[in-house]
Amino acid sequence: MKLTDLQPLEKWVELEDAIRERSGMRASVYDTDGIGITGKSQHANDLCPEIRATGKGQTYICAVAHQNMAVMAQNTRAPVIEECDAGMIKIVVPIFAGDEFIGAAGGCGLLMENGEVDDFMINKTTGLAEEKIAALSESIATITPYEAEKLAAYIAGEIDRVVKRYQG
């Protein structure tokens, strides 16, 4: 089963838009391979596109965070809220049709309240200058733990509605 068996692609775009509007995060719906299905994702800050533009940043920061968190979400059947190695928050909510894991939805790109970007790690992984990283980090919005939990619950509720509608 695929995510588009549950609902049309346009409806997944609407979910991404709703997540982004509620939180300011880069919202995505992912298939089981960790690939975004809509191609409509917008970055939450100026730093993330710079990280993702480097092969190592995409591979060793973004993809690793999603893969690890998606496995955690799949195994627990519950939302996961963690920091990526760059120091920003990522929320991953699993999508199941019955017992079959078919993908995940969530967002990333904000700092946890009182959190900080790991300039050193980003520099060592991507080669971006620490000064540039610091400048791009200045405008990153924050989220409280409560807001992150509330957003994860909202996403889980929306997914639950989609699955129930599909199951009739």
Please check the confidence at residue 7 and state whether its pLDDT lies above 90.
yes
Report the pLDDT value the prediction gives residue 69, as an integer from 0 to 100. 98
Domain count, the chain: 1
- Taking the C-alpha atoms of residue 127 and residue 16, their distance in angstroms, rounded to an integer, is 31
Report the pLDDT value the prediction gives residue 41, as an integer from 0 to 100. 77
For the entire predicted model, the pTM comes to 0.95
Confidence of residue 144 (pLDDT cuts 50, 70, 90): very high
Report the pLDDT value the prediction gives residue 149, as an integer from 0 to 100. 98
Half-sphere exposure of 113 (CA within 13 A, CB side): 6
Please check the confidence at residue 168 and state whether its pLDDT lies above 90.
no
Provide mean pLDDT across the span 37-66.
Answer: 93
Q: What is the pLDDT of residues 65-80, one digit of tens each?
A: 999 999 999 999 999 9
Please check the confidence at residue 1 and state whether its pLDDT lies above 80.
yes
Report the pLDDT value the prediction gives residue 6, as an integer from 0 to 100. 96
The CATH number of the domain where 66 resides is what? 3.30.450
> What domain range includes position 151?
3-167
Q: What is the pLDDT of residues 24-44, one digit of tens each?
A: 999 999 999 999 999 987 999
For residues 11 and 167, the model is more confident at 11
Report the pLDDT value the prediction gives residue 167, as an integer from 0 to 100. 87
